[in-house]
Structure 1
């Protein structure tokens, strides 16, 4: 018997509060996904960081990661250094894998907003060779139809295909809807998926469940191999939502500080490697570990 397509509906709505961030009084952060991995697999966490820095005092600095991937979408402003600057609408996927050190320092006055996710790696790829992939807004696959503009950063969606390489099958799409516009597209039914509303209000699914700005709407799931339909309709003010959909890996993880692993002893080994300078800095990655699209 063939699997029937389902129409996705919202099964959980969360409204993350804007909390003080670690970069000082000008930084606020919303925990879009946090400490819910048993339900959010393969998404470990997602932070919505907003910085409106009013002074010239440097903030941030070098820090390590290992065992997962960071998935960053810059909604506003710019961040980076002379080796690479992310601008508004740019996307980066950094595979920390076996371990990498990177530096996020902001020196002068700055206004920026970034969505940064920690994405679990498949157990077989936990210690993959580090790599960084940058997809600029100008080169991101885009389609505009019937009042809906979709910019695709990862995976395949809305007839688009991203060049970004994935260890975990992942869809990341920035969707802007004109007033009253309707998005109707297919998704793999087994993907864990949610919508995060950046601006405006939308209704989702046949039951027209409402989501407003800064809300997270988790979608129901179907069986492996089946397809599903996602329907999103903007209200009369228009809307902007970011869709994240990924294939669950169904592996338990250990999370501690900036590291993800399968066992507690691996966490200790990672801290030791970092303290003894055995983790390479992202700036030392060779050709073949750095991809610009």
Structure 2
């Protein structure tokens, strides 16, 4: 389909992200996407913005979801009960598939504060008990789309034909867009995807109606009105740094309790029973 035939996405809703002071080593926190809006945000479950130090996210379990962690500041070390271990620098992403069950820790290096975004991504029923896996997506290694005044890092999915090698159980586009003042860029998306932008720095105009957005605001994309292909235009006012996430809805029931996300209450009870019985170990 030609570029001209793609549906121009608007912005359906804009909201500010409020943060509150944490406790102990969890210095500050806020919801970018609040949990509980399962149908509206599908396939995304929640997104948290955190400032934290060592001792906040020690070993803990997950089942039935993926976590996508973007490090804004600081260095984050992760390890799990399957032998995985790595270090994330600012601008890196970790794509963790919990699947049937994993126990992991996400801790800043001693004496450092990590500022991060963590997205919880739903898995469909057919993938909830898949084998766990990690993908560390280092900023220096991901595909990059370059245009005058624009740099787009493709962590998942594609941007104008530049495609990431990230393995996805649920089709997801994740790009980091950096624009110089006055520059614009067009990001292509399948028309069926739900998606949003989160502004990390600067300000600009988003979508068909040029809706204004600025730092610490979320801009939820409007629908593509049944078109199979769509695109969203972003134009920088001030130097702009924004993350865009979009994905194919799962369209299944969601039951979430603590670190587990399944389809039924019985499956949640089984997840807790399996965890306490040691069945999350390899």
TM-score scaled by structure 2? 0.91
Give the C-alpha shift of residue 231 in structure 1: 0.4
1:176 maps onto 2:173 in alignment: no
SS in structure 1 at match of 2:202: strand
1:279 maps onto 2:276 in alignment: no
1:219 is matched with which residue? 221
Runs of 4+ in 1 over 3 A off after TM superposition: none
Measure, in 1, the Cα distance between the counterparts of 2:169 and 2:227.
Answer: 18
2:61 is matched with which residue? 64
1:148 is matched with which residue? 150
Question: C-alpha offsets along residues 54-113 of structure 1, whole Å, 9 cap, x if unaligned?
Answer: xxx744311000001111111221111583111111111111111110012346221221
Alignment match of 2:136 (pick from 134, 137, 140) = 134
1:75 maps onto 2:76 in alignment: no
SS in structure 2 at match of 1:250: coil
CA contact (8 A) 1:60 1:106 kept: no
Q: 1:39 to 1:27 in 2, by over 3 A?
A: same
1:99 maps onto 2:101 in alignment: yes
1:288 is matched with which residue? none
Alignment match of 2:210 (pick from 208, 211, 218) = 208
2:82 is matched with which residue? none
CA contact (8 A) 1:58 1:108 kept: no
Measure, in 2, the Cα distance between the counterparts of 1:44 and 1:59.
Answer: 21
1:49 is matched with which residue? 50
Measure, in 2, the Cα distance between the counterparts of 1:219 and 1:104.
Answer: 31
2:168 is matched with which residue? 166
Measure, in 1, the Cα distance between the counterparts of 2:78 and 2:156.
Answer: 24
How many residue pairs align between the two structures? 274
1:187 is matched with which residue? 189
Q: 1:214 to 1:178 in 2, by over 3 A?
A: same
Measure, in 2, the Cα distance between the counterparts of 1:8 and 1:100.
Answer: 37
TM-score scaled by structure 1? 0.88
CA contact (8 A) 1:96 1:131 kept: yes
CA contact (8 A) 1:154 1:163 kept: yes
Query: Any stretches of 5+ residues in structure 2 without a counterpart?
Result: 80-84
1:243 maps onto 2:247 in alignment: no
1:289 is matched with which residue? none
2:27 is matched with which residue? 27
SS in structure 2 at match of 1:98: coil
1:254 is matched with which residue? 255
1:7 maps onto 2:8 in alignment: yes
Give the C-alpha shift of residue 279 in structure 1: 0.8
Measure, in 1, the Cα distance between the counterparts of 2:206 and 2:43.
Answer: 22
Deviates more, 1:8-17 or 1:153-162: 153-162
CA contact (8 A) 1:7 1:205 kept: yes
Measure, in 2, the Cα distance between the counterparts of 1:253 and 1:224.
Answer: 25
Measure, in 1, the Cα distance between the counterparts of 2:195 and 2:55.
Answer: 36
1:118 maps onto 2:120 in alignment: yes
Once superposed, what is the RMSD of the aligned Cα atoms? Answer: 2.0
